[in-house]
């Protein structure tokens, strides 16, 4: 359990805070002066400091500055009975997590402490994950066993600089990040990492992008052009969405993988290069082979070392560290105070299936950093589809740390789903009952017990309220 240091010259307040926070299971220690606070932190750094500004031996701002100089990551909440705008601004500039004025309610201080410690926990996890990254690019968030297994494969193949790699996985799972990590961990790290999306470039242009061309090879080819394979000599070429490559170009890629030699478009001279090829696809290439859309021999040339990146819904342990990482990044970029994810928002984020995977998390956190004005992201800030997300199944429901009212949750869930069914059917109770797998009479009884009314449809009764999601 977390340890908390209370720094206040009033013994009564130290005892009161100690009792309130001790009831929550925290280990609490109190001191009455700034000097004692600095000594306590030097001996055994706590997880959180509650710091009064009016101390007998020195001002709390000086203590805060000294604490932050000693440990910039130390979590400090300033508490004072003589607060001013200037002291609040100065405290926050020095890195205080929050600024609380006396008197305060016990429930309020419990909530602030819990949010602060949860934020610190997520920051530490993200920092550890960032330390695993070598070289430029996105860090690989790998708290889940599934992604830990992916990292093990990355380390294995990175040591063999010639081996071709095929990365599979849904769109947005981070296949490019994995490809860059393979490059960065290999002896090729000092060489170039060049990428091309095979799905976004027409076949004739893609051939020129990969192999280059000679003057006069085609219309507008007025001078020679070096291709990616030539430019990446000594490094890595990443072929994203290789499953969408046109059949004619597949044959040329196959020959290159067999010989590591190629001719520019319109050229006669062969060029040899030392390049590792890492390919990626969100398609099932075996299905593409059966349908005639992908060459079987090329598949086996690419699939020397396969790595599958699982979708985010199969690695829920990575959701909150990813969200915290992107939230902090965009908050810094947009100069926003947003730093924490509240427990109710955490529950919604973990409960959402993330069809867009990591890319969707990144985009959402960028949007939240723009639209949120407070210091924490709450469930009410999230889009409706995430606020109302609650997909049942193992690992999908998350019990909040403070527990929940199960009966109220079941009532809210029923209200939400019935409202959606009525909205979808234009208020037709019979059709809504079929959507919900209920007899019409049972649905009417449930609607009456929940205070719901249907809209003008086949049954001709007033409209249901628009659903607002499941209460947390």
Q: What is the pLDDT of residues 418-456, one digit of tens each?
A: 888 887 777 888 888 888 888 888 888 888 888 887 654
**Mean pLDDT calculated for residue range 269-285:** 93
337 within 8 A of 320, measured Cβ to Cβ: no
Looking at residue 150, its pLDDT comes to 94
pLDDT at 355 over 70: yes
Task: Tell me phi and psi for residue 336, to 5 degrees.
Answer: -105, 155
- Say yes or no to pLDDT of 311 above 90: yes
pLDDT in tens, 106-164: 888 888 898 888 877 777 656 544 444 444 456 678 888 999 999 999 999 999 999 99
pLDDT averaged over every residue in the chain? 84
Q: What are the backbone angles phi and psi of residue 391, rounded to the nearest 5°?
A: -90, 115
Cβ contacts of 37-42, under 8 Å, gap ≥ 24: 37/5, 37/7, 37/63, 37/67, 38/63, 38/66, 38/67, 38/70, 40/5, 41/5, 41/67, 41/70, 41/71, 41/74, 42/70
Tell me the pLDDT tens digit for each residue of 124-135. Answer: 656 544 444 444
- Helices (H) and strands (E) counted in the chain, each on its own, are 19, 14
Distance CA 152, CA 181 (A): 12
Please compute the mean of the pLDDT values over residues 193-218 and round it to a whole number.
84
Maximal CA-CA distance, the chain:
89
Instruction: Please report which confidence band the pLDDT of residue 460 belongs to, taking 50, 70 and 90 as the band edges.
Output: very low
% of the chain residues with pLDDT over 90: 41
As a whole number of angstroms, the distance between CA 85 and CA 462 comes to 51
State pLDDT tens for residues 60-96. 899 999 988 888 888 899 888 776 677 778 888 888 8
Domains and CATH numbers, the chain: 3-129 (3.40.50.2300), 146-310 (3.40.50.300), 313-387 (1.10.8.60), 404-472 (1.10.10.60)
Phi, psi of 451 (to 5 degrees): 75, 25
Q: Which of 192-201, 234-243, 399-408, 462-471 has the lowest mean pLDDT?
A: 462-471
In the predicted structure, residue 375 carries a pLDDT above the cut 90 = no
Strand segments (E) across 356-463: 376-377
What is the rounded average pLDDT of the residues 8-37?
90
pTM over 0.85: no
Hey, is 27 helix, strand or coil? Answer: strand
């Amino acid at each position: 359990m977390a340890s908390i240091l209370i720094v206040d010259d009033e013994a009564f307040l130290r005892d009161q805070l100690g009792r309130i926070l001790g009831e929550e299971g925290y280990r609490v220690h109190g001191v009455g002066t700034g000097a004692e606070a600095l000594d306590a932190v030097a001996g055994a750094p706590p997880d959180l400091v509650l710091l009064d500004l009016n101390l007998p031996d020195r001002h709390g701002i000086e203590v805060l500055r000294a604490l932050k100089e000693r440990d910039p990551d130390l979590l400090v909440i300033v508490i004072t009975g003589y607060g001013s705008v200037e002291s609040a601004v100065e405290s926050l500039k020095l890195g205080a997590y929050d600024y609380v004025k006396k008197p305060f309610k016990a429930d309020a201080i419990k909530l602030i402490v819990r949010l602060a410690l949860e934020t610190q926990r997520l920051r530490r996890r993200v920092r550890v994950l960032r330390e695993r990254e070598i070289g430029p690019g996105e860090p690989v968030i790998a708290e889940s066993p599934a992604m830990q297994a992916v990292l093990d494969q990355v380390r294995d193949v990175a040591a063999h600089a010639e081996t071709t790699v095929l990365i599979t996985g849904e769109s947005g799972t981070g296949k490019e990040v994995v490809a860059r990590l393979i490059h960065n961990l290999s002896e090729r790290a000092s060489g170039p990492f060049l990428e091309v999306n095979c799905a976004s470039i027409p076949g004739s242009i893609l051939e020129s992008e990969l192999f280059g061309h000679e003057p006069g090879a085609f219309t507008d080819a007025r001078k020679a052009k070096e291709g990616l394979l030539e430019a990446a000599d000594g490094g890595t070429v990443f072929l994203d969405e290789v499953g969408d490559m046109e059949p004619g170009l597949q044959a040329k890629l196959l020959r290159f993988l067999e010989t590591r030699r190629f001719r520019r478009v319109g050229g006669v001279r062969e060029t040899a290069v030392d390049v590792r090829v890492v390919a990626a696809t969100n398609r099932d290439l075996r299905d593409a082979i059966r349908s005639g859309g992908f060459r079987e021999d090329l598949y086996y040339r690419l699939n020397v070392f396969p790595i599958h990146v699982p979708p985010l819904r199969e690695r829920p342990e990575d959701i909150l560290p990813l969200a915290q990482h992107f939230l902090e990044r965009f908050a810094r970029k947009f100069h926003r105070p947003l730093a924490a994810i509240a427990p109710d928002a955490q529950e919604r984020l973990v409960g959402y299936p993330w069809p867009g995977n990591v890319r969707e998390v990144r985009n959402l956190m960028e949007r939240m950093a723009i639209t949120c004005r407070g210091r924490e992201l709450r469930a009410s800030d999230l889009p409706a589809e995430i606020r109302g997300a609650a997909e049942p199944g193992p690992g999908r429901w998350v019990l909040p740390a403070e527990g929940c009212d199960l009966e109220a949750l079941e009532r809210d869930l029923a209200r939400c789903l019935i409202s959606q069914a009525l909205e979808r059917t234009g208020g037709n109770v019979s059709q809504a009952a079929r959507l919900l797998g209920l007899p019409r009479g049972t649905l009417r009884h449930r609607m009456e017990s929940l205070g719901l009314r249907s809209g003008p449809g086949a049954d001709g009764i007033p409209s249901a309220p628009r659903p607002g999601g499941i209460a947390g």
